[in-house]
Amino acid sequence: MLRALPASSLPDMGSSSPGTASTGDGTGFRRPDAASRRWVEDLRDRGAAREEAIERLHLLLLRAARFEVARRRRVLPHVRGGDFDDIANQAADDALVAVLARLDDFRGESRFATWAYKFALLEAAVKLRRLAWQGREIPPPEPGDLDLVPGAGPSPHEVLEQGELIVAVREAIASALTPHQRDVFVALALNGVPIDVLAERLGSTRGALYKPLHDARRKLRGELARRGFALSETRASR
């Protein structure tokens, strides 16, 4: 049975640690601590040291994945306990492959265990989000999607202004965006579809979806500004 681990059992999630020292050359680069250097050396070894290090690393990643699964499992009450175990193991396996592939990216800005731990947290979170959307259809853009915009305050002037803005946003989405930009923006920004889920459904990647999302927001800001609505960067990105 999976259970949430106590905070004391987790690696330090800070950006630095007592065992991480500066090189002192003014570049801001931090030399990995001794334990982190040992991790990297063992994982690059061609003999028994590498096999032993991989086994230890997998146990660390499995602990991280189980922690993330236990933390999120309450939002998936329909999933059986054994399925959660499978997800944690799959996440640890995928995280191990990712860590080994990106070993050269480790710069010592945190402890190696902390750096690697985050790979398993991400893999577990992605798998759980996909599971939550399994069997669910991603709704196509509809005129009513703009009803998801939060309501205005009590002031009549604010109500009128908010109504005008919603109409302007709806028209801008329909006229200023390409069909692909519109689908991506509505799914991610309005319907709350996780980006990795949308990427999987579209046969794309997270990175490939960031551009149409960014372009859609840029076009909407420009179109709304042209219509006399001056939106702050924070408000426009919601």
CA distance 3 to 78: 17
CA distance 6 to 32: 26
pLDDT in tens, the chain (238 residues): 444 444 344 444 444 444 444 444 444 556 778 999 999 999 999 889 999 999 999 999 999 999 988 887 776 656 665 678 888 999 999 999 999 999 999 998 899 999 999 999 988 888 887 777 665 666 665 555 454 444 444 555 555 566 677 778 888 888 888 989 888 888 888 877 888 888 888 888 888 999 999 999 999 888 888 877 765 544 444 4
Residue 40 lies in a domain: yes
- Residues 100, 46 share a domain: yes
Residue 137 lies in a domain: no
Supply the pLDDT for residue 120: 92
- Residues 125, 57 share a domain: yes
Domain interval for residue 215: 143-236
Residue 88 lies in a domain: yes
Supply the pLDDT for residue 5: 42
Supply the pLDDT for residue 235: 46
Residue 2 lies in a domain: no
CA distance 29 to 8: 28
Supply the pLDDT for residue 57: 95
Residue 221 lies in a domain: yes
- Residues 186, 114 share a domain: no
What burial letters (b/e) apply to 74-111, b meaning 16+ CB within 10 Å?
A: eebeebeeeebeebbbebbbbbbebbeeeeeebebebb
CATH of the domain at 107: 1.10.1740.10
- Specify the pTM: 0.53
- Residues 156, 128 share a domain: no
- Residues 225, 163 share a domain: yes
Domain boundary among 132, 167, 190: 132
Q: What is the DSSP string of the chain?
A: ---PPPGGGSPP-SS--TT-EE-SSSS--EEPPHHHHHHHHHHH-SSHHHHHHHHHHHHHHHHHHHHHHHHHGGG-TTS-HHHHHHHHHHHHHHHHHHHHHTGGG--SSS-HHHHHHHHHHHHHHHHHHHHHTTT---PPP-GGGGGGSPPP-S-HHHHHHHHHHHHHHHHHHHHHS-HHHHHHHIIIIIS---HHHHHHHHT--HHHHHHHHHHHHHHHHHHHHHTT----HHHHT-
Question: Rg of the chain over CA atoms, in angstroms?
Answer: 23
- Residues 90, 126 share a domain: yes
The domain total for the chain is 2
To 5 degrees, how large is the angle CA 172–CA 164–CA 149? 75
Supply the pLDDT for residue 30: 66
